[in-house]
């Protein structure tokens, strides 16, 4: 059977798009394993010599574990604070009768669109006043500005997709709203809550501007800030920078591999809204 042209063209275009998508990541990994001396000469696409020198330098000379720990702590804390509070709010928005629901949702969406730079000046002044610059709470609080609306928006979408029958049955049996929420809705919504938590964590892990503005020294730098500041004034230690970018990508890649369906669900519920 001959392949039809209308099937071959999209397949070829698709393969090209996928290659364009993946090649930079491959190149990042391959380059991070290339000896510094070979990094700046033209070299074949497949590595000929492999070294872990850059990774060793990252931990022995730069203490890269500190920013990794900072990023994990700040992203984890923000997720733990934002998702439960957002879940309560989202349940009310998705299910309960109240006035101004549409307005409140529009408000949440609008807040999630705030350009980060527009709240940097007051947050800086407030955090300085409270002596929270260069602390973990001094990052978790600013991170709530984007993670809270994001989580509310996603969870409202997920709660709306749940079938109402079970909740109604539970309430007819005399369960209160809160009990219904705890015993019926939350277990059913667990996948949605997981998607929300994953996306919230990812956004925090990737955040740059707030971390750049509100941390003052290497003891509190998050991963993106630490990598960025590796760059010397005139020379970039590319080997180490690339090794660091690979390490910054590993948790993200693991999440994507393990939870691809959840992430897609989160992204689409956020955009199309149940």
Q: Which of residues 55-74 bind another protein (CB under 8 A)?
A: none
The site that binds another protein (CB under 8 A) totals a number of residues, namely: 92
> How far apart are CB 202 and another protein at their closest, in Å?
6
| Nearest CA among 272, 245, 267, 240 for reference residue 256 | 267
> How far apart are CB 191 and another protein at their closest, in Å?
16
Positive or negative CA dihedral for 236, 239, 241, 242?
positive
265 contacts: CB under 8 Å, gap ≥ 6: 191, 192, 195
Q: Is 150 in the site for another protein (CB under 8 A)?
A: no
Q: Indicate the residue among 80 and 120 with the shorter CB distance to another protein.
A: 120
* Interface pick for another protein out of 50, 65, 88, 216 (rule CB under 8 A): 88
Residues from 242 through 261 that contact another protein (CB under 8 A) = 242, 245, 248-249, 252-253, 255-257, 260-261
- What the block records as the tokens of 269 is 């519920």
Helix axes 120-129, 137-161, angle to 10 degrees: 130
Q: Is 238 in the site for another protein (CB under 8 A)?
A: yes
CA distance 209 to 213: 6
Q: Is 113 in the site for another protein (CB under 8 A)?
A: yes
Q: Indicate the residue among 163 and 261 with the shorter CB distance to another protein.
A: 261
CA distance 134 to 169: 50
- What the block records as the tokens of 261 is 């369906």
What's the distance, CA 214 to chain centroid?
19
* Interface pick for another protein out of 1, 2, 3, 42 (rule CB under 8 A): 42
Binding-residue pattern over the window 116 to 145 for another protein, x denoting contact by CB under 8 A: xxxxxxxxxxx--------------xx-xx
């Amino acid at each position: 059977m001959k392949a039809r042209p209308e099937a071959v063209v999209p397949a070829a275009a698709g393969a090209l798009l996928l290659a364009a998508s993946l090649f930079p990541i491959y190149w990042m990994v391959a380059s991070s394993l290339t000896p510094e001396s070979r990094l700046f000469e033209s070299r074949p696409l497949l590595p000929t010599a492999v070294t872990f020198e850059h990774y060793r330098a990252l931990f022995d000379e730069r203490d890269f574990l500190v920013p990794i720990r900072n990023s994990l702590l700040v992203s984890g804390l923000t997720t733990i604070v934002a998702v439960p509070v957002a879940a309560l709010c989202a349940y009310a928005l998705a299910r309960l009768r109240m006035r101004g629901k549409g307005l409140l949702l529009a408000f949440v969406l609008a807040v999630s669109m705030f350009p980060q730079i527009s709240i940097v000046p007051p947050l800086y002044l407030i955090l300085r006043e409270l002596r929270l610059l260069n602390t973990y709470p001094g990052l978790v609080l600013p991170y709530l500005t984007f993670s809270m609306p994001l989580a509310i928006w996603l969870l409202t979408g997920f709660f709306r997709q749940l079938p109402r029958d079970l909740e109604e049955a539970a309430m007819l049996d005399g369960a209160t709203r809160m009990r219904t929420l705890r015993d019926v809705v939350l277990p059913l919504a667990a996948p949605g809550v997981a998607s929300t938590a994953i996306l919230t964590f990812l956004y925090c892990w990737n955040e740059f501007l707030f971390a750049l503005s509100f941390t003052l020294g290497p003891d509190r730098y998050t991963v993106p800030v630490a990598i960025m500041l590796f760059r010397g004034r005139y020379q970039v230690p590319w080997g180490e920078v690339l090794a660091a970018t690979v390490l910054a990508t590993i948790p993200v890649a693991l999440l994507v591999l393990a939870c691809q369906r959840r992430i897609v669900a989160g992204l689409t519920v956020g955009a199309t809204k149940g």
